[in-house]
Chain A
Amino acid sequence: MNHHITLVGNPNTGKTTLFNKLAGTRQKVGNWAGVTVDCKTGFFSVNEQRVDMTDLPGIYSFATESGGIDEAVARRFLGQGEFDVIINVVDATNLKRNLKLTKELITLGRPMIVVMTMTDLARKMRIMPDLDALAANMGIATIDGYDLSVAELQNQVLALVEMGKDNFVVAEPKSIKQWLSGVMLQQARAQNSTELIDRVVLHPLLGIPIFLLSMYAMFALAIGLGTLFIDPIDSLTAYWFVAFPSHWMQLLGVPHWIIVVLADGLGGGAELVATFVPVIACLYLCLSFLEDSGYMARAAFIIDRVMLSIGLPGQAFIPLLLGFGCNVTSIMSTRSLSNPKQRMLTMAMAPFMSCSARLAVYVMFVSVFFRSHGGSLVFGLYLLGIVMAVGTAWIFRKQLFNDVHASSFIEMPHYHRPRWGNIALSSWHKVRGFVIRAGKTIVVVSAILTILNSIPSWHSDADGGKPSALAEVGQVITPVFTPIGMGYNNWPAAVGVFTGVLAKEAVVGTMDALYSDVVGSETDSVYEPPINNLQTSGAILWGNLTGAVSTLVDPLGLAAVSDAQHDATLSLGHQKMASLFEGWQGAFAYLVFVLLYTPCAAAIGALVKEGGMLWTGVVTGWSTSVAYVGAVCTFQVLTFAQHPFSSLMIMGIALVWIVFFVLGLKSWIKPKLGHNIIAVG
């Protein structure tokens, strides 16, 4: 026989831990219809009886009509009543407050079981309630979710579910005071360890250094450690997804265009997704650790006042910080913001944080154009990104979210020893979610660009044809980039803009190849047998791991900037590049464009997953517009003396577009937001 139970409880009660304990790996995460709130479902089987579970978002109350998106989701689900028994998860260390929700749940008139969590902490703090007395007072079966083994817990839950379904008695409405009479037998400890730790961690003087240190550790681990695995995984997947299948398809006589679509297009897309897995996995491990241990809420507390000055809560700090490593991790981590509007605002800011892939482009330009001022140039670009992000927050709040309040109340959970099994399990499910859900978009975007890049031009070589169809497109749109100082013959830079959407560091490879006239250098690699590839990938991994210390000291990889300044001579390709840009002004304007423009394919995938299609469109359109207008203004201001009149004209037109966009946000986008992203009621 099948049963369906639903887990309901306050946030931070260990509800997800209980869910993981019951379901193990037999769970999947989806979204509630039309909302970016996780809907977790899972099941367990005992004696050929299957119990399906739905995990509701953590809520304090569902009875009131207002409240956030989580309450709305819970209210709708509980109202529809497609479940047999409610499992009310109650935090034993905070009984009185948790029981308020229990009281609300009773009014639904459905069978119910109370499962106590955090009982280990409650015993330590000497506030463990007498469960039998409490169950008798409430008239609801109550069990200890921590003490029982997995099998015992499953058995007990099943037994209680069957009992609840067969002979259900509505619990008597009593006050919480009556429920608690004779339940608390011990005298609570005067001070618990959480308060002692908080005295140090939130100390007026010590708090900030501890915060900075932990943020640095998280960044170095999530970005630095994850990055070490990118190259070996790239080498491995480039072989198995692209080189190996295309080699064999060639031998089997498969037509060329099918090989391009399957191996280069789809295989290349899968390769791109795979390279993000190590960074995303490290990120989720770090975030789960911070969340599970209880420090996350403290970090938000420390930085809250600073973030408030740009109208965001303290929790927005971590996503934005991670943006300097990789915008994808940044967008994925906005989930920790409970308010969906603040989450969307943070997502719109994230692409402006200069990620480490863009650093590769800066380094190339420093070595060609800015040898004497490389350091300050790169610093200036990072700063410009931050300014643009803050400006975006300001404008979007004014135009779209004028009703969003920065301040909210954050419950600070007790410090808890991290439950490693739980951290590993939830990270695994989140990485899987990224691969499946964001991966789709990434594969599509990257396949389109790769295929365009691989198919030959429609002009023949004799007509001055370009190496690929993408290059032709680049040539056609080059005039669009004239106002940012890109000469008519500088089509490789325009092609770089396209391949940069694939991955920002691809700008470097594209320009290198096109300026030095090396055509299709990537696709014509020599086929090697599988064993060689395994050896190569292993060697790269070993090389990266041995260099791990320098990664931890310099997680952004800024050392490359000073290395570039000391390169001996310019290669031929770089000399050509130097001649094609309109001086250093044109090069600088191009860098401004690269810093700000369209998020990369992976970031777009993450945006679609976290914010929905409409929001992805808004963020992509906004960053592209800002990048273009910013680059135009940069170039025109830098060359103002040469042609003041046309500069004024061009800048005027560019700024009109931005004003148009900003006004459009309010009149077009704002009315649509409610239906597209935020579910009501």
Chain B
Amino acid sequence: MVLSELPKGVTANIHSVIHPHRDKQIQLLALGFDPGESVQLMMKAPFGNPLQVKVGATLIAIHTDDAQYIQLCEGACEDYDE
């Protein structure tokens, strides 16, 4: 599953972030979208875009176009921590 498909209120863990745009890939990692980190869909803006997600302790507004590149673990994730 990818982040843009996550139902509202549900928490999942990030499997991987593979954004085709290099700048955005770096930005996402810097913002805390690390493999293994927990992510929760908090709110959707009017017309369903962007999404408010909580990554670790950070609230971030992200467009569905970008959220589709964030892969989530199905079920439990392996331990990703450094």
Q: Is the CB of B82 within 8 A of A409?
A: no
Q: Is the CB of B30 within 8 A of A61?
A: yes
Min CB distance, A359 to chain B, in Å? 31
Q: Is the CB of B32 within 8 A of A100?
A: yes
Kindly name the residue among B29, B31, B57 whose own CB sees the greatest number of chain A CB atoms within 10 A: B57
Residues of A within 8 A of B56 (CB): 94, 96-97
Min CB distance, A608 to chain B, in Å? 29
Q: Is the CB of A100 within 8 A of B66?
A: no
User: Is A140 interfacial (CB 8 A cutoff)?
Assistant: no
- Complexed CA–CA distance, A427 and B21 (Å): 37
Q: Is the CB of A411 within 8 A of B58?
A: yes
- Complexed CA–CA distance, A451 and B45 (Å): 53
Min CB distance, B54 to chain A, in Å? 8
CB under 8 Å from chain B, chain A span 386-439: 405, 407-414
Tell me whether A198 and B52 are in contact in the complex, defined as CB-CB below 8 angstroms, given that A97-B32, A300-B61, A411-B31 are known contacts. Answer: yes
Tell me whether A412 and B52 are in contact in the complex, defined as CB-CB below 8 angstroms, given that A97-B58, A195-B42 are known contacts. Answer: yes
User: Is A297 interfacial (CB 8 A cutoff)?
Assistant: yes
Q: Is the CB of A94 within 8 A of B57?
A: yes
- Complexed CA–CA distance, A94 and B57 (Å): 5
- Complexed CA–CA distance, A410 and B49 (Å): 13
- Complexed CA–CA distance, A120 and B46 (Å): 32
Q: Is the CB of B43 within 8 A of A198?
A: yes
Q: Is the CB of A175 within 8 A of B82?
A: yes
User: Is B6 interfacial (CB 8 A cutoff)?
Assistant: no
CB under 8 Å from chain A, chain B span 3-48: 21-24, 26-32, 42-48
Residue of B nearest to A205 (CB): B46
SS class, residues of chain B in contact with chain A: mixed
Min CB distance, B53 to chain A, in Å? 10
Tell me whether A305 and B50 are in contact in the complex, defined as CB-CB below 8 angstroms, given that A66-B23, A198-B43 are known contacts. Answer: yes
B27, B44, B45: the one contacting A409 at CB < 8 Å is: B27
User: Is A509 interfacial (CB 8 A cutoff)?
Assistant: no
Q: Is the CB of A301 within 8 A of B27?
A: no
User: Is B1 interfacial (CB 8 A cutoff)?
Assistant: no
User: Is B81 interfacial (CB 8 A cutoff)?
Assistant: yes
- Complexed CA–CA distance, A643 and B23 (Å): 56
Min CB distance, B11 to chain A, in Å? 12
Q: Is the CB of A96 within 8 A of B32?
A: yes
Q: Is the CB of B43 within 8 A of A411?
A: no
- Complexed CA–CA distance, A66 and B32 (Å): 17
User: Is B60 interfacial (CB 8 A cutoff)?
Assistant: yes
Residues of B within 8 A of A665 (CB): none
Kindly name the residue among A93, A95, A302, A408 whose own CB sees the greatest number of chain B CB atoms within 10 A: A408
User: Is B62 interfacial (CB 8 A cutoff)?
Assistant: yes
Residues of B within 8 A of A413 (CB): 59
Residues of A within 8 A of B43 (CB): 198-199, 202-203
Residues of A within 8 A of B49 (CB): 304-305, 308
- Complexed CA–CA distance, A301 and B49 (Å): 9
- Complexed CA–CA distance, A602 and B56 (Å): 45
Contact with B along A328-342 (1 / 0, CB 8 A): 000000000000000
Q: Is the CB of A97 within 8 A of B31?
A: yes
User: Is B65 interfacial (CB 8 A cutoff)?
Assistant: yes
Q: Is the CB of A407 within 8 A of B65?
A: yes
CB under 8 Å from chain B, chain A span 218-276: none
Residue of A nearest to B40 (CB): A195
B21, B42, B81: the one contacting A198 at CB < 8 Å is: B42
A60, A301, A302: the one contacting B30 at CB < 8 Å is: A60
Q: Is the CB of B26 within 8 A of A411?
A: no
- Complexed CA–CA distance, A175 and B22 (Å): 25
Residues of B within 8 A of A407 (CB): 50, 63, 65-66
- Complexed CA–CA distance, A204 and B8 (Å): 12
Kindly name the residue among B27, B52, B59 whose own CB sees the greatest number of chain A CB atoms within 10 A: B59
Residues of B within 8 A of A543 (CB): none
- Complexed CA–CA distance, A584 and B28 (Å): 57
- Complexed CA–CA distance, A47 and B24 (Å): 47
- Complexed CA–CA distance, A100 and B57 (Å): 14
- Complexed CA–CA distance, A412 and B23 (Å): 20
Q: Is the CB of B31 within 8 A of A302?
A: no
- Complexed CA–CA distance, A204 and B54 (Å): 18
| A-B contacts besides A60-B27, A409-B66, A411-B59, 19 pairs, CB < 8 Å | A60-B31, A93-B57, A94-B58, A194-B59, A195-B42, A198-B42, A202-B45, A203-B43, A301-B50, A304-B50, A305-B46, A305-B48, A405-B24, A407-B50, A407-B63, A409-B24, A409-B27, A409-B60, A410-B60
A contact residues vs B (CB 8 Å cutoff): 60-61, 64, 66-67, 93-97, 100, 127, 175-177, 194-195, 198-199, 202-204, 207-208, 297, 300-302, 304-306, 308, 405, 407-414
> Can you identify 13 A-B contacts, CB atoms within 8 angstroms?
A67-B23, A94-B56, A95-B57, A97-B58, A177-B81, A195-B42, A202-B42, A202-B43, A204-B46, A208-B46, A304-B50, A409-B61, A412-B60
